[in-house]
A and B are shown apart, each in its own frame.
Chain A
Amino acid sequence: MMVWIEQLVTSFIASAAFGLIFNVPKRMLLQCGSVGMAGWFMYMSCVQLGIGVVPSTLIAVVVVTVISQLFARMYKTPIIVFNVSGIIPLVPGGIAYDAMRNVVENNYNAALELGFQAFMLSGTIAIGLVLSEVVNQLLRKPAR
């Protein structure tokens, strides 16, 4: 339980901080934080349930984009404001770092494996972004 609270609070602060680094308008900082927190919560729960890292990331990214789209329409703000800070926690920085470290230590096999994993994860983030965008556009077209 403590771990969950800890993770939720830190992911909220980290995402809001990223919003500030990207100069997001002041009244949108809390929303950025909550988008990031929701994505990270989804990712954590999926991993906890034993779903693989790649599908977990996909689900989390879709959640992030859907919430971002809602916020973008609610506050009449470009979606990129919410999107970016929500996705930052899911970027495979740790795995990319491990890959780099293995390259330096001449463990090329391990490095290749980790590098591919990082590549897969960033591809997944891309697919998640596009997927929810396409669904959103399909849903919006008939309404007009």
Chain B
Amino acid sequence: MERMVSEKGNGSFVKAEAHKDAIQSSLAGTDVCSDHDILRICLLAGKIMLQNGGETSRVEDTMMRIAAAYGYDNSHSYVTPTGILFAIDGTAPATRLIRISERSTNLQKVTIVNDISRRICGDGMTPVEALSLLQETDTQPFAYPEWLRIATAALASGCFAIMFRGGWSDFMPAVLAGGIGFLLVVLLNRFVPVKFFAEFLAAAAIGGTAVLLTQNGVGADLNIIIIGSVMPLVPGLHITNAVRDLMAGHLVSGLSKGAEAFLTAFAIGSGIAVVLSLL
């Protein structure tokens, strides 16, 4: 059974459930979708980007470009780190809101959504195709395995110890401390709902490990080891994004991302400070 929607905005207000069925049944068929499908595509693209570390301006830009490519030249988006509001004008104006509660960093997904949006604008990808691709991107993990990320974080810690002018005797202790720290963050994030607490504990563990190792004669410079192993926890992406958002005029998201970065840095600093003050 196929619903025929001849042209955009002829007021096809159908209940969401009926709509889903329509999309699924017409996955291979019609090219033309209604306002609600376009809204869904835009919001899904925005949601995936925002959840995985895209900048606010990129999220807004992507959503408005997709809407424009599907014939809605007047669209408005309001993006904050915790939610997206998106509205399209036209004969049947519509507005929708999506709440973002979980955020992580997965730049691969941002890249994939960017590609999809390019194909929508350039190659004229159909809404149905775009929606199914986006839904697949949303559900698939597209991430490196956890052990690999922990191992590379450990390796990076060692490299940072060398870059900050440590000797090669500091390399292995930094690898060990950094690996333990990142492992703790990954593990604790599953059980502890408060992200900053996980970072605090991880930093404290890094400090403890480094102190233990240097006191037992492994590693030369305690400071270098700690700085190197803390680096994987440093909120570099958040700082970068916060500044870019602020300068682009997204004051609300810039400030809140900056606050997040500051809290993370503070958690790491106080974790290390607790260990050092106990000495």
Inter-subunit contact A97/B223 (CB<8 Å): yes
A76 to B58, CA, bound (A): 14
Inter-subunit contact B240/A83 (CB<8 Å): yes
Inter-subunit contact A7/B163 (CB<8 Å): yes
> A103 to nearest B CB, angstroms?
7
Give chain B's interface secondary structure class.
helix
Chain B residues within CB distance 8 Å of chain A? 52-55, 58, 105-111, 114-115, 118, 142-144, 148-149, 152-153, 155-156, 159-160, 162-164, 182, 223, 226-227, 230-232, 234, 236-237, 239-241, 243-244, 247, 265, 269-270, 272-273, 276-277
> B184 to nearest A CB, angstroms?
15
Chain A interface category by residue count:
35 or more
What residues of chain A lie closer than 8 Å to B232, measured between beta carbons?
Answer: 18, 21
Contact indicator per residue, chain A 8-33, by CB within 8 Å of chain B (1) or not (0): 00110110011011111100100000
A residues 1-57 near B (Cβ < 8 Å) are 6-7, 10-11, 13-14, 17-18, 20-25, 28, 40
Q: Say whether, besides A21-B149, A91-B236, A129-B244, A13 and B227 are in contact (CB < 8 Å).
A: no
> B274 to nearest A CB, angstroms?
9
What residues of chain A lie closer than 8 Å to B272, measured between beta carbons?
Answer: 97, 100-101
Give chain A's interface secondary structure class.
helix
What residues of chain B lie closer than 8 Å to A40, measured between beta carbons?
Answer: 163
Residue of B nearest to A130 (CB): B247
A100 to B26, CA, bound (A): 60
Q: Say whether, besides A22-B53, A91-B234, A13 and B58 are in contact (CB < 8 Å).
A: no
> A143 to nearest B CB, angstroms?
18
Inter-subunit contact A130/B240 (CB<8 Å): no
Seed contacts A25-B108, A78-B110, A88-B236; 17 additional CB < 8 Å A-B pairs: A11-B159, A17-B159, A20-B152, A21-B232, A23-B144, A25-B107, A76-B114, A76-B115, A78-B58, A81-B107, A84-B107, A97-B269, A98-B223, A100-B269, A101-B223, A130-B243, A130-B244
